[in-house]
Amino acid sequence: MAYAALVSLAQTLDQILNHHRCCSIPLICEDQLFESLREKLSFLQAFLEDYAQIGGEAVEGLEGRIRAVAYRAEDIIESHVSDQISSEDNCCMRYMDLELQNSEKNEGDLQKVLELLDYIIEQVMSIQKSIKVEDLQGSYTSVPASSGGAPNDGNKMVGFDEDIVALKARLCGESFKLQVISIVGMGGIGKTTLAKNIFNDPLVAYHFHTRVWITVSQDYHLREVLLALVASLTDQETMDLSKRMNDELAECVYKNLKGKTYFIVMDDMWSTKTWDDLRRFFPNDNNGSRVLLTTRLSDVAVYASSSPLHHMHFLDEEWSWNLLRDKVFGQQRCPPKLERVGRTIAKRCRGLPLAIAMVAGILTKMDRTRYHWEKIVENISGVVATYDEHFSNILTLSYNRLPCHLKACFLYIGGFPEDYNIPVSKLTKLWIAEGFLKLNGSKSLEELAEEYLEDLVKRNLVLIVEKRSNGKIKFCGVHDLLRDLCIQKAQEEEFLHATNSSTRGIQHQRRLSIHSQIYGNDVDKFSCASFIRSFLYFPWYIASLSFLQGYRLLRVLDLITTRSDTIQPEITQLFHLRFLALSLIAAEFCSELIIPPSISKLQNLQTLMIRIYGCENIDDLQLPPIEMMPSEIWEMPQLRHLIFFQRDKLPIPLVVAPSGGQVLENLQTLCVNNFRCTSNAIEMIPNLKKLKVYYFDSFREAWAKYCLNNLVHLCQLETLNLMFMYPRRYTSDPFLAFPLGLKKLTLSTCELPWDDMAVIRSLPNLEVLKLKDDAFIGAEWECSDGEFPRLKFLLMDGLNLICWRVESTHFPCLERLIITRCWKLEEIPCEIGEISTLQLIEVVRASKSAANSAVSIQEEQRDLGNDVLQVRIRDREEEY
């Protein structure tokens, strides 16, 4: 975590300098000392980027010292700022005199930190001199390359019959070009075992003249691989080849493969560089030769292979049980008394074949009693880690090979509860607030965070749970065993402590995640860790936040899954807070839920998320609308995301600051109720990318009342979601206009005539269109040429449409069509099936005739040779 600590400290220094310039907060030290610290941080960051993956005791020891010094510096600097803020609030001369003494002490402490950094830099430079360039270029693992036939270890694949058949078909197919086929999946999912089964298959052995198996070293060196290849192809001992130059070895490999039909398996590939080095040694004689790669990294597979990748998936519950039963009992029958608990054990392995195999090995050595097996159920991951070091090493290897900039992001996922579907939009905001991301070029922090997540997915460390309509990841998760690895590593490195209320071992942790309900004085026990930066709390209720007084350096306070009665004043004293998420229980008149003006003290706040529970019947109370947000919200220049989750009909109007207010140039997301798009408000949010608003009026009434004609001036807006809660009350039609840069548009209960679709269909960048609950009304929608040039996703939900007239040219890029609750729609036009890009038609709770027409479209396309188009008919709705 040394790299993340350095990046975070560098960001803290930049923020302190900004506050120094705009708020006259005194610096803790002279400018020259400040700049010296920044230079040292930059040097150490570069060192870790280049050398961290080499490993070794020297580098690992340095990482621990770098992390500790960076933490210490950050604590000193942020404590100094907190002291300054407190002294300004108290306006007490005695207090200020005391703080002056503290400031002098802090500066002295920081000078000691700089001395420690100088000592570390000397050690770094010594390491740089001692490590050879070739070690940097090829640092992958430590097992030497091996070759020859794949060992037939008797590992019969259970549950992967389709994978074997598909791979054999591709290997022994009619293509005469040299093909590279990649098997991709997380560690322990069975890539090597599948490759072994393929390699030793009689049909494959008969089909190829030459078969070679190479296990690629993680500390990859080209010479080792060449020696292994030549030894396998020529039956020469490696010792006899040791005097040959690399060029001679490469020529020997090429000559021995030339003119032959060969099959080469390269197991456990970790880098595109490995493939770059080796691909030129494999001749392409157009005779049907194949190279099979196994890798945990999707980007390596994509880079190496011109063919579609073969992704390995987890076993389902039935196949998991079959594998466990076969490995424990072999040809014998499982006793009925053990089957139920056995199935539970298999299920707890979450479909990971290696975990099932390891647990099976443990069960074979135990008494076959229900009592002993139930003990295994209680802690599968702990049992596996305790009994089998090999399994732990396999999972740990994936973590160790991560680039240094991804390690903190991966370990952070361990802070979420087991089986938790993690909202990606929230996760990336948390990463940014924590200071894990180092700005790179013109990309925003949000774009960089999405790239980090996609990289973790490519490395098969993070699972995609659900995707958005635009193809981006909406929810992600992690396999339970990898989550346990995250928790273990995070605690070892004093990075994050996930607990069920125990305070043991948290004194030196930077982050705290609570997963079970705690009460009363138990909460105050956590205040002993005064340097904690993040508090993630997942139980349903917390009575008091008084313990926050001891968390004055807190950056992240996540209580979004936890219900609290009031917005407690302790929160607005947390000057360093960057991420604040609250769920509040509304009282009868909701007066306790008004955000205090002192919220503006949180000058570092980037994300504010508030969810309200209760007040469902506020309309029945006949009370005036409550203004939940003060105008001071517009005085928070670091704000990037302002999100209010509404429930039922609770209006939360946003008060717009008077003319001349500060511009929120960083604000990217705004999710509120009844937002007034005045010219002043639009000018204050020039870089807004996402706007989501509930209006408790009709569309036509709201368009004029809330100045929605000004939406067109939000030039950076990419996502717009407008929902209206009441049917129309006025007959006058508004003049529709939307920003030309829109990529995603959702409209609900607008009751627009289909003629107004002309405004939307001409949007040049629109990729996703969702029409919900009478967004448009009228029996017939007739499309015309030039419509929707880039639209990929179309949702029609709850429309009263009867007839839809369309040509294939009207939606030239459409990939997914979802029709739900359109009870009157007679049919889906057959021309829809002629759209060459279309991949899916999904019909949910619609008319029977519409469903039948979708099936007919699929059948017609299959007759024409189009097997890409899928049709799904379902009775249950999902969120789109």
How many CB atoms sit inside 10 A of residue 11's CB?
Answer: 20
Please, which residues have CB within 8 angstroms of residue 468's CB and are 6 or more apart in sequence? 474
Cα–Cα distance measured from residue 217 to residue 139, given in angstroms and rounded to the nearest whole number: 9
Dump pLDDT digits (tens) for 404-421.
999 999 999 999 998 889
Residue whose structure tokens are 């196994």: 294
CA 632 to chain centre: 33
Contact 219, 140 (CB under 8 A): yes
Cα–Cα distance measured from residue 78 to residue 84, given in angstroms and rounded to the nearest whole number: 10
What are the boundaries of each domain within the chain?
Answer: 2-136, 161-311, 317-392, 401-492, 496-585, 746-880
Please, which residues have CB within 8 angstroms of residue 369's CB and are 6 or more apart in sequence? none
Give the DSSP H or E segment for 288: none
First to last CA, the chain: 38
Q: What are phi and psi of 225, to 5 degrees?
A: -70, -40
Give the DSSP H or E segment for 300: helix 298-304
Cα–Cα distance measured from residue 628 to residue 430, given in angstroms and rounded to the nearest whole number: 24
Q: Which residue has the higher pLDDT, 106 or 254?
A: 254
CA 168 to chain centre: 34
Please, which residues have CB within 8 angstroms of residue 240's CB and are 6 or more apart in sequence? none
Q: What letter would DSSP give residue 176?
A: -
Cα–Cα distance measured from residue 104 to residue 615, given in angstroms and rounded to the nearest whole number: 52
Contact 652, 674 (CB under 8 A): yes
Q: What are phi and psi of 404, to 5 degrees?
A: -60, -30
Dump pLDDT digits (tens) for 334-346.
999 999 999 998 8
Query: Does domain 401-492 fall into CATH 3.40.190.10?
Result: no
Contact 2, 70 (CB under 8 A): yes
Relative to beta strand 290-295, strand 210-215 is unpaired
Query: What's the token pair of residue 806?
Result: 């369309």
| CA dihedral (446, 449, 455, 460) positive or negative | negative
In this predicted structure, what is the pLDDT of residue 56?
63
C-alpha distance from residue 80 to each of 27, 99, 193, 508, 529 (Å):
9, 9, 57, 20, 18
The residue type at 325? R
Give the DSSP H or E segment for 498: strand 497-499
pLDDT band at 197 (very low <50, low <70, confident <90, very high): confident
Burial 356-383 (b: 16+ CB within 10 A, else e): bbbbbebbeeeeeeeeebeebeeebbeb
**In 330-412, where does DSSP find H-type helix?**
336-348, 353-364, 370-378, 380-387, 389-400, 404-412
Cα–Cα distance measured from residue 847 to residue 820, given in angstroms and rounded to the nearest whole number: 9
Contact 494, 508 (CB under 8 A): yes
Residue 432, helix vs strand vs coil? helix
Query: Does domain 317-392 fall into CATH 1.10.8?
Result: yes
Dump pLDDT digits (tens) for 684-722.
899 999 999 988 888 888 888 889 999 999 999 999 999
The residue type at 95? Y
Query: Does domain 496-585 fall into CATH 2.60.120.10?
Result: no
pLDDT band at 551 (very low <50, low <70, confident <90, very high): confident
Closest CA to 760 of 804, 711, 831: 711
The residues with which 290 forms a beta bridge, in sequence order, are: 179, 263
Give the DSSP H or E segment for 111: helix 93-130
* Equal fold, 496-585 vs 746-880: yes
Query: What's the token pair of residue 419?
Result: 């089986």
**Most trustworthy range by pLDDT among 143-152, 183-192, 273-282, 625-634:** 183-192
> Is the pLDDT reported for residue 802 higher than 90?
yes
Give the DSSP H or E segment for 153: none
In this predicted structure, what is the pLDDT of residue 794?
97
Contact 62, 125 (CB under 8 A): no
Give the DSSP H or E segment for 549: none
Q: Is residue 677 classed exposed, middle or buried when 0-12, 13-18 and 19+ CB atoms within 10 A define those classes?
A: buried
The residue type at 158? V
Dump pLDDT digits (tens) for 456-503.
988 878 888 999 998 899 999 988 888 888 988 998 888 998 887 666
Task: Please give the CATH topology (third level) of the domain spanning 746-880.
Answer: 3.80.10
At the top level of CATH, which class does the domain 161-311 belong to?
alpha beta
Dump pLDDT digits (tens) for 728-777.
655 566 778 899 999 999 999 999 999 889 899 989 999 999 999 999 99
| CA dihedral (142, 144, 146, 151) positive or negative | negative
> Is the pLDDT reported for residue 837 higher than 90?
yes
In this predicted structure, what is the pLDDT of residue 827?
95
| CA dihedral (295, 301, 305, 310) positive or negative | positive
Q: Indicate the CATH number for domain 2-136.
A: 1.20.5.4130
Cα–Cα distance measured from residue 340 to residue 325, given in angstroms and rounded to the nearest whole number: 12
Query: What's the token pair of residue 118?
Result: 């100088």
